[in-house]
Amino acid sequence: MLVIVAVGGGLSDRLRLRQEELILSKLAIEAAHAYYQLLVRRVRRFRWLRAACLFSAVIVIYVWRRTRSH
């Protein structure tokens, strides 16, 4: 399950990156820089949220297996 989430996340990240590169290429330098800074903050936040979700899933599976075996 985690492999599917990781692969799907990577594919969606690459697609989103390509779309953002197209947007950046159409903007003036100043506007592109401002938009790029916004994207950097979004990506950082998104990665933290994804890591938190994956960590939570691992904890839930661990607790579920531990309580099931007792």
pLDDT tens-digit map of 48-67: 998 998 899 999 999 999 99
**High-pLDDT (> 70) share of the chain, %:** 86
Instruction: Collapse the DSSP code of 1 into the 3-class scheme (helix H, G, I; strand E, B; otherwise coil) and give the result.
Output: coil
pTM: 0.59
Q: What contacts 32, CB < 8 A, 6 or more positions away?
A: 24, 25
pLDDT of residue 61: 92
Q: Is 14 helix (H, G, I), strand (E, B) or coil?
A: helix
Instruction: Judge whether 35 and 27 are in contact, CB under 8 Å.
Output: yes
